[in-house]
Structure 1
Amino acid sequence: MNVGDIINYLNEIAPWRYAEEWDSVGLMVGSRDSNVTKILLCMDVTSDVILEAARCGAQMILSHHPFIFSKLKSIDMETFKGDQIAKLIKNNITVVSAHTNLDTAPDGVNDTLAESLHLTNCQNLKPYIPKGLNCDLGMGKIGELLNYKSFDEFVKDIKKNLGIENLRIIGKKPEKVKNIAVFCGSFDDDLENLKSRKVDVLVTGDIKYHTAIDAAQMGLCIVDAGHYATERMILPKLMDTLNKRFKELDIICSKMEADPFTFA
């Protein structure tokens, strides 16, 4: 089994062409010809994750967020990023990243976030048609709870299902909620589209300050559950998917990463 086999399969379940034009996806460091017996899944390729991969004998790291986002003009091993790349190469670890292609793919991050909140009858929140394709993959999802819930009860469910203790609330809290929108990771600031869809609340992972100000003035309610929490649940699902396809591989989720934000 080599890295190329994994990349080709990822292209089947979350095609690279689904990624947004500004994104960086695919092979980040290493070679498609490298042999693989163990894969470490993570949200971000941190120094701790690199050390974890080296210690557990993983030849490949599959991350959600791109390890290399902006174009590198040089690899200076005296810099933080250069040192990370050097450690990856020294330990023969290949890095592959699947980002917005995995967000929008069927059973991807947005679908998984909707499932985590037990939404039914899900539709796309807004259109997203990648360049050169005729299919509308959609950005974000809109769905329904089986029954109306009080807002406070729904917030408790979010915390329980996403494994968090804190979240931020923007705007006026509705008394009851049923029609829910989700947008994994960073919200794209399209408040006009959100308002036109007449949802009771949006659950997302990142809201900018001025977007929050505008949302509140527009009468919208948004729950910011954190970037990490709204995307992390894709990892065990991806692990199961890869295990079914590559039974001979040892595939694990990182135990060395966590939400970078803590609350005092």
Structure 2
Amino acid sequence: MTLQASLIIKQFEEMSPKHYAFDWDNVGLQVGTLNKPVAKVMITLDVLENVVDEAIEKSVDLIIAHHPLLFTSLKQIDLETPKGRIIKKLIQYDIAVYAAHTNLDVAVGGVNDVMAELLHIQNVEPLIETEKDELIKLVVFVPEDYSEGLRNALSEAGAGHIGAYSHCTFQSAGQGTFKPLDGTNPFIGKQGAIERVDEHRVETIVPKTKLAKTLKAMKKAHPYEEVAYDLYPLVNEGESIGVGRVGRLSKEITLRELCEVVKEQYDVPALRYVGDPDQTIQTVALLGGSGEKYIHAAKEKEADVYITGDLTFHLAQDAEQMGLAVIDPGHHVEKVITSKLQRRLQKKCGTDVDFIVSNSQTEPFRFM
């Protein structure tokens, strides 16, 4: 069995929309085409030559990576260079590459949420808010006997979520009228005759980013060939979207103890830290990858510690001077997203396509 690559990526982009990416980033299709059938997808952090060789060996049709293969512009494709060899193999074996970078960092359930979840951080919010999702009020008129099925379909598509509550709707009873004209095929009534139907007015809220999916689910669950519905823009603030995460541990622990937890949960053999190992920690800020430029944001959020990779010497000194502990477990800890993505995409796409996680090593650093 196969699925079109474009349909797989459509499912993926519902979780991690491309417009979440920073302006300087290069996300989306990197090599190949999405207009082809796919039987096997590989999830990876990086697209290195050993990853591509693994994809060839395992008959992979599509690679979904976190780090873009093409990040800076290429002025030539020299097949004697590592990048050139990778591109040649991808084209030769018809393997498409798609990248989700900062959009997957920002997305709910993305890299930073998984990192926070592994440390059991509670009351999580963005470290730096970049935008708020706009909210839309959706009102649908449906025959009474079909209102429950419609409400469930809307909620499963992403509508009706308020805080930690799902399936949030309101309904009121009334009577709908309509007259089927020539060329119609009415579910209820006859052409040329005014029909009166006992209906429910079902109201819910929808994030703008999930509106298209919700409307599609609404039309599929509704019995009428022409669905009567209204959309109202709301002033209510939607979900915060942003860079990094900050939250609290359920209880205070020492910096030394947190370092051990980070090593275990992120599967790293060693890490660097700044601060007194015996100081108590409860508020934790984190950002996967290279996040040293946000140390001041972490301090402003009153974090006791900031977890991020690629910390440089002088910014480590700055953090120490301002009383902010820092844990640097490396850049490669973003690998925690790969197995999560594999399970989520497999669930979304079903058994028509096989999702696997790359086993190739892409961490360049070794420890002695």
Distance 2:311 2:111 in 1: 18
The question of whether the paired residues in 1 share the 8 Å contact of 2:49 and 2:85 is answered with no
The question of whether the paired residues in 1 share the 8 Å contact of 2:5 and 2:34 is answered with yes
Percent identity reads 37
Partner residue, 2:63? 61
The question of whether the paired residues in 1 share the 8 Å contact of 2:48 and 2:362 is answered with no
Q: 1:208 aligns with which of 303, 312, 319?
A: 312
The question of whether the paired residues in 1 share the 8 Å contact of 2:275 and 2:325 is answered with yes
The root-mean-square deviation of aligned C-alpha atoms, in Å, is: 1.8
Deviates more, 1:79-88 or 1:42-51: 79-88
The question of whether the paired residues in 2 share the 8 Å contact of 1:207 and 1:224 is answered with yes
Partner residue, 1:113? 115
Runs of at least 5 residues in structure 1 that lack an aligned partner in the other structure: none
Paired residue type of 1:226: G
The question of whether the paired residues in 2 share the 8 Å contact of 1:174 and 1:221 is answered with no
Distance 1:174 1:144 in 2: 18
1:243 aligns with 2:243: no
1:72 aligns with 2:176: no
The question of whether the paired residues in 2 share the 8 Å contact of 1:145 and 1:180 is answered with yes
Partner residue, 2:330? 226
Quote how far apart the aligned CAs of 1:206 are.
2.0
Deviates more, 1:158-167 or 1:190-199: 190-199
Q: Which has the higher strand share?
A: 2
Deviates more, 1:24-33 or 1:164-173: 164-173
What is the number of residues matched between the two proteins?
262
Distance 2:359 2:314 in 1: 35
Distance 2:337 2:113 in 1: 9
Quote how far apart the aligned CAs of 1:127 are.
1.8
Distance 1:257 1:191 in 2: 29
Q: Secondary structure at the match of 1:251?
A: strand
Q: Secondary structure at the match of 2:130?
A: coil
Distance 1:136 1:74 in 2: 41
Q: Secondary structure at the match of 2:361?
A: coil
Q: Secondary structure at the match of 2:90?
A: helix
Partner residue, 1:91? 93
The question of whether the paired residues in 1 share the 8 Å contact of 2:113 and 2:245 is answered with yes
Partner residue, 1:30? 32
Quote how far apart the aligned CAs of 1:174 are.
5.1
The question of whether the paired residues in 1 share the 8 Å contact of 2:254 and 2:277 is answered with no
Cα distance per residue 1:226-260 (max 9 Å; x no partner): 1111x111111000110001121111001112421
Runs of at least 5 residues in structure 2 that lack an aligned partner in the other structure: 135-208, 210-237
Q: TM-score, normalised by structure 2?
A: 0.68
Quote how far apart the aligned CAs of 1:97 are.
0.5
Cα distance per residue 1:24-50 (max 9 Å; x no partner): 100000011121000111110011000
Partner residue, 1:186? 290
Distance 1:43 1:151 in 2: 28
Paired residue type of 1:183: L
Quote how far apart the aligned CAs of 1:211 are.
1.4
Distance 1:104 1:23 in 2: 13
Paired residue type of 1:87: K
Distance 1:12 1:108 in 2: 12
Superposed, 1:2-21 pairs within 5 Å as: 2-21=4-23
Quote how far apart the aligned CAs of 1:151 are.
2.0
Paired residue type of 1:162: Y
Distance 1:212 1:162 in 2: 21
The question of whether the paired residues in 2 share the 8 Å contact of 1:124 and 1:138 is answered with yes
Quote how far apart the aligned CAs of 1:135 are.
6.5
Quote how far apart the aligned CAs of 1:129 are.
2.8
1:165 aligns with 2:269: yes
The question of whether the paired residues in 2 share the 8 Å contact of 1:174 and 1:200 is answered with no
Quote how far apart the aligned CAs of 1:213 are.
1.9
Distance 2:63 2:6 in 1: 13
Q: Secondary structure at the match of 2:69?
A: coil
